[in-house]
Structure 1
Amino acid sequence: MLIGELARRTGTTTRALRFYEAQGLLRAQRSANGYREYDEDDLRLVTEIQALQTVGFTLDDTRPFVACLRAGHESGDSCVDSIEVYRRKLAEVDAFLGRLGAVRAELHGKLAEALTRQDESGHADPCVVAPSPSEEH
């Protein structure tokens, strides 16, 4: 298939596919007239790259998955290097969630302090909004 069809079938652009090729993630065959030609394996590679990017992986993160597929494995995460990327990304997400949890706790504390000051002053400030039920834990 030509680059336009691969772009259409994967829901991406020809520009993105050329970029993947420039990054060494995709390898096009060239026809006699110089057109890029791809096969079903390339379709699978692009689909894998897109799925990984959707969950926050960088293009560099996708390299072990692409290499695993190119090596003939059924899935891109069948190889040890891919599993290691999953572990690293999961550790990054866990650390980020920890930071978000700390920010959330700090915001809850600040809100509670503000509401206490408001209650002590005896008048409601229309600018202060009470926490929503989903924020009360």
Structure 2
Amino acid sequence: MKISELSQISQVSARSIRHYEQKGLLEADRLDNDYRHFDTSAIERVKMIQLYLKLGLTTDQIRALFKGEVSSPDDYEYCEEMLSIYQEKLSHVDGQIAALHELKRLLERQISLTIKKKNQVPV
């Protein structure tokens, strides 16, 4: 199928599909006219790429998973590499959450101080 068909079926832009190909996540044959030709398996592959991106994995991490012949996150019982990547990502997310909580605390403090100063200003 052409890239436009894959884009329409997968609901992913042709630009993203080209990017996935450039990053080594997706392969296409080239026709005589140099158009890309994707196998029907590319539909599922694009869906997996999208899922992994939503989980916050980088294209490098996804490529490593694909090279390790890991398919869909639901299609395996246990994979040490997947567990490590998921744990690393969760740790990163936990760090971001902690940083956001600290930022929230600081903003609330500054708002409180600003309101106090505003109320202390004589009219």
Fold match (TM-score > 0.5): yes
Q: Distance in 2 between matches of 1:107 and 1:14?
A: 42
Gaps of 5+ in 2: none
Structure with the bigger RCO (C-alpha within 8 Å, sep 6+) is 2
Q: In 2, are the aligned partners of 1:3 and 1:36 still within 8 Å (CA)?
A: yes
TM-score, length of structure 2 as denominator length? 0.77
TM-score, length of structure 1 as denominator length? 0.70
Structure with larger Rg = 1
The structure 1 segments of at least 4 consecutive aligned residues displaced by more than 4 Å after TM superposition are 31-34
Paired residue type of 2:61: D
Q: Distance in 2 between matches of 1:44 and 1:66?
A: 13
Asked if residue 38 in structure 1 is aligned to residue 38 in structure 2, the reply is yes
Q: Distance in 2 between matches of 1:2 and 1:109?
A: 56
Note closer, same or farther for the CA distance 1:43–1:65 as it changes in structure 2 (3 Å cut).
Answer: farther
Gaps of 5+ in 1: 124-137
Instruction: Decide which moves more: 3-12 or 49-58.
Output: 49-58
Count of matched residue positions in the alignment of Structure 1 and Structure 2: 120
Q: CA RMSD in A?
A: 2.5
Q: CA deviation at 1:72?
A: 6.7
Asked if residue 105 in structure 1 is aligned to residue 108 in structure 2, the reply is no
Percent sequence identity over matched residues?
28
Q: In 2, are the aligned partners of 1:28 and 1:37 still within 8 Å (CA)?
A: yes
Q: In 2, are the aligned partners of 1:29 and 1:37 still within 8 Å (CA)?
A: yes
Asked if residue 52 in structure 1 is aligned to residue 49 in structure 2, the reply is no
Paired residue type of 2:16: A
3-state DSSP class of the match of 1:103? helix
Note closer, same or farther for the CA distance 1:62–1:18 as it changes in structure 2 (3 Å cut).
Answer: same
3-state DSSP class of the match of 2:56? coil
